[in-house]
Amino acid sequence: MQWVPFWPRDASVTAQSIDKIFIGELALVLVILGFVFGLMIVFGLRYRRGSRANRTGLIKKTWHWEIGWTVGSLAAFLVLFVWGANMYVWLYDPPRAGLEIYVVAKQWMWKAQHPGGQREINELHVPLGETVRLLLTSQDVIHSFFVPAFRVKHDVLPGQYETFWFKPTELGRFRLECTQYCGTEHAHMGGDIVVMPPADYARWLSRQGEHESLAQQGEALFRKYGCSGCHGANSTVHAPSLVGVYGGLVHLEGGDTVRADERYIRDSILLPRSQIVAGYAPVMPSFAGQIGEDDLVKLVAYVQSLSPIDGASQ
Amino acid sequence: MTTVTADLPASYLTKEHTIASWLLTSDHKRIALLFFASITFFFFIGGFAATLIRLHLLNPAGTLLQPDMYNRMFSMHGIVMVWFFLIPSIPTTLGNFLIPLMIGARDLAFPKINLASWYVFNISGFFVLFCLFVGGVDTGWTFYTPYSTLFANGYVIPAAVAVFINGFSSIMTGLNFVITIHRLRAPGMTWMRLPLFVWAIYAVSLVMLLATPVLAMTLALVALERWMGVGIFDPQLGGDPLLFQHMFWFYSHPAVYIMILPAMGVVSELVSCFARRPVFGYEGMAYALMSIAVISFFVWAHHMFVAGISIYAGIVFSLLTFFVAVPSAIKVFNWTATLHKGSISFDAPMLYALGFVGLFTIGGLTGLMVATLPIDIHVHDTYFVIAHFHYIMVGGTVSAFFGGLHYWWPKITGRLYPEMWARVAAIITFLGFNLTFFPQFILGYLGMPRRYYTYDPAWQVWNVLSSAGASILAAAYTLPLLYLGWSLFYGARAGANPWRATGLEWLTSSPPPQHNFPRTPVVRAAPYQYNPADGSYVAQDGSSNA
């Protein structure tokens, strides 16, 4: 669609799909619009007052027609719904991510943390053709992470992780915008997504200086905050081991089962009593208000790294 | 005409002349005019804010207003236009004036509550003006938490109080209409003989009654959290920010239909009268109004597709949103079919009505696009959505309001308006509107977010076009103020029924006497008994007119 002068760039796998459904609906909309406007114009000319058109025999059984266009509209709408819902499921069900990046939003900037511990502000470097999964949270109000060229958008909420994925298909710089009104400098809460060839991305990562990986930093925090006292291998306290927890199913007291994703790990640190693992006493204190978002990200990354099924964040 | 007009008492306008006779009136027609004065005032306040916004956006660097001022302007524009113009617009003016006349009643069921509603409205208006003059509010009209409860630097509580009080005016007016329509219909005015405007006001009144209390609760909680730190919505206090959005949209999505349903009622009257043909599928139109009112309560989370709701919620609310579009589609097709074999004249009210059908169709069809989940991910919170809902609310509701105002102007004032000027205004409204808002669809798909005081210079051309359109639109909205004002003094006297229309309101003199009818009319005919073949019609009292 780049030949249309006012078409946004489409630089990701999802952009091409969303463009397809948009153009499909646009075509349908134009047909319906043409039909309605066409009828209005034809009737307006033909039956203008004083014209000699035949006006006898008005349609009496209008319900024949009404059922016709009710069924027609409903059928067309259901097709659009199924098409859209199907794509939505795909958009929300991420393929196995090659790269997971944590993003913390605050008034009025975006902070990104790569798995290797590299950090950047208002820029996000990603390799071309890699499925990138973002884990986003906010330190203050609700923001929204929007990259028009990728056709991806997701609100970023304080107090919880939101996640979505994209897969860039073009090299270059693409605008990042905040689309949820967040205060005075909302319009300036932007940045760039920089899509690089994988080799350049690797070089860029190494140029960011020596860093401990997020998980390594998390391990240090795990000791600092005293988590290891109970959850460590040598602990005498009856607390669940965290090895292999991430990504699996956890059976809770009361019979529920949850998937141990990033949100679960985060909630277990901040609100430990909301989800008690079956067979354990609710003895863990809450860390709400004591650990900032940046440190939480590292702790979550460390717990992730304890899971052998997940290789990405090692 | 069967009604004798010679021995009627003085009209409601001339019966008494004191200021107290206006401020303490319980006559629904006078209260309608009081409301008309209030909402016109607020329309121009909201319009002034819109003018500043469009002027500011001429320049991508956004140098006219300071960021905080810009944020206050779009917030004030939204708050004033939604609660102080669009929601009360048609119900409190045309509805107040016409419902008793159309069903053959002397007044509304509770005339004093009707007057109280106007006072409550003005008290809430005082709070919103207070909020504006002490420094404004910068939350947007949506008051999203935790921004509004903790981080906003404006006067959130006065604004919330204003909207909270405003809701009681809505509830009083809605309650009055529901009971009036149930209890005060003239003999023979069965439900299936009600004009569609009455059906529309009935539907909207039910929505007002059921939805507005939720808004009141939500805003009370926002004010409490901001004032006393009660942890309802702020996660730092243990609250849930999405809870606010669910509660807010549980009111505010039905509120969209509060704005558009009365407009649909007006347009049905207009299209039928100027096509000289019965409304195509009267019963279907009435049922469609009621089904829109009911389904409108079950679509709220389509405002939250990217807000962090579950995938299942997204899918269910998308499906329900497509369902609510079906009765709207029926209405569009039925209005179009009403033109079939009509005898159509293009007087100003008809031009506004046809403009409504066209703009509402564009707004509705783009509504299908934003109901489609993947498309909404891209266009949510961009100018695409802004354009979509302005097509419904401004292209739709405001066009219908102006159409209805012209159509019933002779009944309200007893004077004819200058037809040529009115047609000019109707046409430039349509053109100016499209020039203002069509470029915003393109801006939105390009990715320009809403509520930005500065933007990518590549988008300037579309913003300049939009601002140019807005200046045309401003002229088109000021024009009626001038020529309608002129006609009050110099317009030709209108007879009882200048449009040769069928409703009961046209049986009494223009302007009507204080208690509407010399004797209660008896209804013997369905509405809209126009015959396009010979131009004759049967009024609702059963009288035939050649």
CA B476: distance to chain centroid?
Answer: 18
Q: What is the pLDDT of residue B229?
A: 87
Domains of chain B by start residue, with CATH: 37-545 (1.20.210.10)
Answer yes or no: are the C-beta atoms of B266 and B349 closer than 8 Å: no
Answer yes or no: are the C-beta atoms of B506 and B476 closer than 8 Å: no
Write down the residue that tokens 């005075």 correspond to. Answer: A184
Q: What is the rounded CA–CA span in Å between residue B71 and residue B145? A: 16
Sign for the CA dihedral angle at B301, B305, B306, B311 comes to positive
CA B449: distance to chain centroid?
Answer: 26
- Enter the tokens of residue A202: 């690797």
Answer yes or no: are the C-beta atoms of A18 and A151 closer than 8 Å: yes
Domain coordinates in residue numbering, chain A: 13-92, 99-207, 215-305
Write down the residue that tokens 């999964």 correspond to. Answer: A133
- Using an 8 Å CB-CB cutoff, list chain B residues near A179: 380-382, 449-450
- Enter the tokens of residue A27: 């075509």
Of B376, B448, B470, the residue nearest B47 (C-alpha): B470
Residue of A45, A71, A153 best to disrupt the B interface, most CBs of B under 10 A: A153
Nearest CB among B306, B339, B374 relative to A43 is that of B339
Mean predicted confidence (pLDDT) in B295-303 = 94
Residue B181 has pLDDT above 50, yes or no: yes
Bridge partners, A183 (sequence order):
none
Write down the residue that tokens 């006497």 correspond to. Answer: B513
Distance from CA of A94 to the nearest CA of B (A): 13
Strand A109-113 and strand A172-178: pairing? unpaired
Distance from CA of A293 to the nearest CA of B (A): 12
Residue B2 has pLDDT above 60, yes or no: no
Choose the weakest-confidence range: A115-124, A244-253, B198-207, B290-299. Answer: A244-253
Contact across the interface for B449 and A146, Cβ inside 8 Å: yes
Q: What is the rounded CA–CA span in Å between residue B142 and residue B67? A: 18
Contact across the interface for A58 and B532, Cβ inside 8 Å: yes
- Using an 8 Å CB-CB cutoff, list chain A residues near B281: 62-63, 65-66
Per-residue confidence band for B383, with pLDDT thresholds at 50, 70 and 90? very high
Render B38-95 in DSSP notation, one character per residue.
HHHHHHHHHHHHHHHHHHHTTSTT--SS-HHHHHHHHHHHHHHHIIIIIHHHHIIIII
Of A198, A64, A185, the residue nearest A130 (C-alpha): A198
Q: Which residues of chain A have pLDDT under 50?
A: 310-314
pLDDT in tens, B464-487: 999 999 999 999 999 999 999 999
Nearest CB among B151, B311, B337 relative to A140 is that of B151
Bridge partners, A251 (sequence order):
A257
Write down the residue that tokens 């279907």 correspond to. Answer: B284
Q: What is the rounded CA–CA span in Å between residue B193 and residue B1? A: 20
pLDDT in tens, B497-534: 999 999 999 999 989 998 999 899 999 999 999 999 98
Reported ipTM: the value is 0.90
Q: What is the rounded CA–CA span in Å between residue B20 and residue B34? A: 13
What's the alpha-carbon Rg for chain B, to the nearest Å?
23
Q: Chain A: residue nearest B283 by CA?
A: A63
**The Cα angle at residue B358 between residues B357 and B359, in degrees rounded to 5:** 95
Distance from CA of A146 to the nearest CA of B (A): 8
3-state secondary structure of A58: coil
Q: What is the rounded CA–CA span in Å between residue B503 and residue B163? A: 35
Q: pTM (2 decimals)?
A: 0.91
Of B436, B477, B470, B425, the residue nearest B44 (C-alpha): B477
Residue B4 has pLDDT above 70, yes or no: no
Q: Chain A: residue nearest B71 by CA?
A: A184
Answer yes or no: are the C-beta atoms of B32 and B97 closer than 8 Å: yes
Tell me which fold the domain A215-305 belongs to. Answer: Cytochrome Bc1 Complex; Chain D, domain 2 (1.10.760)
Answer yes or no: are the C-beta atoms of A277 and A238 closer than 8 Å: no
Q: What is the pLDDT of residue B408?
A: 97
Distance linking the first and last C-alpha atoms of chain B: 10
Q: What is the rounded CA–CA span in Å between residue A144 and residue A13? A: 20
Distance from CA of B222 to the nearest CA of A (A): 14
Residue B8 has pLDDT above 90, yes or no: no
How many other C-beta atoms lie within 10 A of the C-beta of residue B130?
Answer: 14
Q: At a CB cut-off of 8 Å and minimum separation 6, what does B68 contact?
A: A184, B138, B153
Render A5-55 in DSSP notation, one character per residue.
TT-----BHHHHHHHHHHHHHHHHHHHHHHHHHHHHHHHHHHTBTT-----
Q: What is the pLDDT of residue A309?
A: 55
The 3-state DSSP composition of chain B as helix, strand, coil percent (nearest 5) reads 70, 0, 30
Of B57, B85, B59, B87, the residue nearest B73 (C-alpha): B57
How many other C-beta atoms lie within 10 A of the C-beta of residue A220?
Answer: 12
Bridge partners, A172 (sequence order):
A195
- Using an 8 Å CB-CB cutoff, list chain A residues near B342: 43, 47, 55
Report cis status (omega within 30 of 0) of the bond before A110: no
**The Cα angle at residue A196 between residues A191 and A201, in degrees rounded to 5:** 100
pLDDT in tens, A52-97: 888 888 888 888 889 999 999 999 999 999 999 999 998 887 777 7
Tell me which fold the domain A99-207 belongs to. Answer: Immunoglobulin-like (2.60.40)
Q: What is the pLDDT of residue A125?
A: 95
